[in-house]
Structure 1
Amino acid sequence: MSDAEADALLVREAQAGSRAAFDMLVLKYQRRVERLLSRSVHDPADVADLCQEAFLSAYRALPAFRGESAFYTWIYRIAINAAKRHRARQRPLEPLDDEGTFGTGATPSDDATPESLLASRQLARELDEAVESLAEDQRRALLLREVDGLSYEEIADLLACPAGTVRSRIFRAREAVAARLRPLLGARGGRRW
């Protein structure tokens, strides 16, 4: 049984009243939804609240889910809409973290010099700013590919557009990010990095 078939079975069981089936869907997709939300909502408590809100909305709307798309595509859209509403309520946006970046999640190694740490922070900050400055459609496509590791076809399904459009958005996003990082990395000419 494929992943999509298993999800469809769980959805049908949940629609028939099985709370355990819906709990299985939550367990399966909760971390992915949290990762998705954390890209646009930077307070972990808000991410947890919005994740819960997205699954609660999905549970309430489950009787109307017709299965025309994959369950993850459906919950993805619900979560994105929850994040948009949250961001609209939070204007102006707060800093992303202490450094004003997404953060790399990495810890410095024992042999890291102050100069290398500063350069890494500057590069991370510039990368974050480059990604944040992308058009929304380019940023989402790029993050789904590079962070979530989804295929072009999966991204096309999630974003409801042709795979060729996804490829184009990702290409343009990569070029824009590369242009911002080139001065920091010392790359010249036609080389991306």
Structure 2
Amino acid sequence: MERRKIDSKYVIQLQEGDTSVFEYIFDFYRNSIYYFAITYVRNKADAEEVVQNTFIIVFKQIKSLRNPDSFHSWIHKIAFRSAMRVIEKNKSRNIVALEEDFGLENIEERQASPSEILDRNEISTVVGKEMENLSPKLLAVAQLKYFDDLTVYEIADVLDIPVGTVKSRLMKVREKLQPILDDGGYSPSKYLSVTMVPIVFEAFKKLIDQQTMSPKSVEMIEKSILATGAAGTGAVNIATILKACGILTVGSVGVFTVYTQVNTVEPIIESVAYYQGVTNKDIDVELLLNEKISESEISVKSKDKDVEFSLDNNKLVFVVHQNGDYTVEIKDEQEVISVSNIDKNNPVLTEVNYEDNKLSYKFKEKESGLDLSSSYFEDKDGNRYKLSEQNYIEGEFSGTVIAYLQDYAGNFGKYEFDI
């Protein structure tokens, strides 16, 4: 079974200033943090924002972590708080903590029999499907316990709830899973084994592998975090940062300093922030100013056209509807903000061929990339076929077939054709 916790030596290296290990830490945790986040925020863009916020805080506060061995629970606590901030910002839903305590029976640790090893893939698939029906609060404790391998005390600290509540929710997870597994002949001692056959771990791994960020979002977020951390040292020139990834983002966790001016004149613009993940939504760009400025001394332009903005004390905000360069001028100071992560175009099915029970296809989606986990073909009987990286599906098709295409930005295209 693969490792769930990162070796603390990498944490120590990062604390000592070796930023080369950050990419390894980021790759080790990003998918599980993304899935943990999407459990709460329920959409990909907000989950990417949580990932970004989490790793920015980790990068900037790693030296404050006294015990490197506690990094595993520490990063999950940061992720949970980041998710709560995103939810609070969006005001779209509330997470209500239950305080009941039903206790938790002990799970027997044992070695699996050969027959259990053979059918563990089938069991984990059944468990995974049932997991997706759990409420966010139950799914979160299940992931932290059975995938991330946290103790009930660590989970209580991460989620800021009593230990009794953690035990209660884990009991509810067992109660939710048991009926469907009993019907299939799987006993609780089998599917909650925590030694050789970690069924729930494998179920979560499948779910996490199905919910991943787009490669473009991963690249942009990682560059943002690294440049943000490097900029805090004052040693990186602003032009270098802008060339690397544009003005950086901090999402909902507050404004971090993107760069430090090393000359003797303090800049008016202290920081610039906006969401960096791939999205089909408009983006709020926030600039924090070091002094109060009147609106008459500020201009925001895109291709020589004025862009509306609002000014609240020392915070300037404007909305970006499309990619491009946005020039902000304040007195004699100028900043060019380059936005390239907005994708509002639906994926397009451009070609379909069916021959020898092989349905091949082509599509147009170059901006954010096609999300294969969310895209599929549906035949006349309602059967669904996931898209493959090879751009073909094998099967018997006739009559009307419907293609459902979704990209990583959330754009959706539906196409019908006859065979």
Contact 1:41/1:87, CA 8 A, preserved across alignment = yes
Partner of 2:260: none
Q: Tell me which moved more, 164-173 or 9-18.
A: 164-173
Cα distance in 2, alignment partners of residues 41 and 59 from structure 1? 23
Aligned pairs, how many? 143
RMSD over aligned CA atoms reads 3.9
Deviation at 1:140, TM superposition (A): 2.7
- Describe the superposition over 1:23-73 as per-residue Cα deviations: whole angstroms up to 9, x where unpaired: 211111111111111111222122112201100111111110112653221
Cα distance in 1, alignment partners of residues 153 and 77 from structure 2? 11
- Describe the superposition over 1:150-179 as per-residue Cα deviations: whole angstroms up to 9, x where unpaired: 54xx2425314798875543113433x469
Structure number with the higher helix fraction is: 1
Assess, with a 3 A threshold, how the Cα gap between structure 1 residues 83 and 19 changes in structure 2: closer, same or farther: same
Structure number with the higher strand fraction is: 2
Contact 1:51/1:79, CA 8 A, preserved across alignment = yes
Can you give the 5+ residue segments of structure 1 that lack an aligned partner in the other structure? 94-123
Partner of 2:152: 156
Contact 2:50/2:79, CA 8 A, preserved across alignment = yes
Contact 2:142/2:170, CA 8 A, preserved across alignment = yes
Task: Map residues 1-193 of structure 1 onto 2, 5 A cutoff.
Answer: 7-67=7-67, 69-93=69-93, 128=133, 131-132=134-135, 136=137, 138-145=138-145, 148=147, 150-151=148-149, 154-156=150-152, 158-160=154-156, 166-175=166-175, 177=176
- Describe the superposition over 1:82-124 as per-residue Cα deviations: whole angstroms up to 9, x where unpaired: 000111111233xxxxxxxxxxxxxxxxxxxxxxxxxxxxxx8
Cα distance in 1, alignment partners of residues 87 and 45 from structure 2? 14
Cα distance in 2, alignment partners of residues 49 and 27 from structure 1? 16
Cα distance in 2, alignment partners of residues 19 and 164 from structure 1? 39
Cα distance in 1, alignment partners of residues 153 and 27 from structure 2? 22
Cα distance in 2, alignment partners of residues 73 and 8 from structure 1? 12
Cα distance in 1, alignment partners of residues 70 and 15 from structure 2? 15
Cα distance in 2, alignment partners of residues 173 and 5 from structure 1? 23
Q: TM-score, normalised by structure 1?
A: 0.58
Cα distance in 2, alignment partners of residues 13 and 157 from structure 1? 27
Cα distance in 2, alignment partners of residues 157 and 142 from structure 1? 14
Cα distance in 2, alignment partners of residues 13 and 24 from structure 1? 11
Q: TM-score, normalised by structure 2?
A: 0.29
Deviation at 1:22, TM superposition (A): 2.0
